[in-house]
Amino acid sequence: MNSLFPYDNIIIGVLIFIVGFCFHGVGQFISIVNWELAERLGLQEAGLPAEYKVYEHAIAISDSILGIFYGIAAVGLIFNFSWGYKLAWLPGSIFIYHSLNFWFWTKNRRKAGHIFESSALRIGWFLANLLTGLLAITVAWKGY
């Protein structure tokens, strides 16, 4: 298999594990189980209007389910299994989608006068998802 850079599979596997399994999967599972705790931990924005909360809850459910696949893909990449490269396409694609979705969702909320996150958090979360997604797809492509 071709490498993008030395130990690319391990680095991207760890990134997918942290961003995907831990933040998206576990973090959003906490939101499903106890929304108030998620607000206190900063995983969810406090004071969301009801119509936003419905959307955010739905995203929490889908993210926590996808977190399982992120964890499996991460393990596959870390241990250099061939199926890990194939499965890495899933988190890579979803992270890119998630970054764009988050960017425009928060942009539209801000336009409506609902600013729940700092600009630094918005940019950081967007970039964490986008760069992890792009790297995962590139490593999956090279390793396939």
Q: How far is CA 3 from CA 10, 19, 104, 119, 142, in A?
A: 11, 22, 33, 35, 6
Chain segment 80-127, per-residue pLDDT in tens: 999 999 999 999 999 999 999 999 999 998 998 888 888 898 999 999
Side chain identity at residue 101, one-letter code: N
Domain ranges of the chain: 8-40+49-143
Whose structure tokens read 């973090």? 27
> pTM score, two decimals?
0.88
| 2 DSSP 8-state letter | -
CA distance 4 to 77: 13
pLDDT, tens digit, 9 for 90 and up, residues 116-125: 888 898 999 9
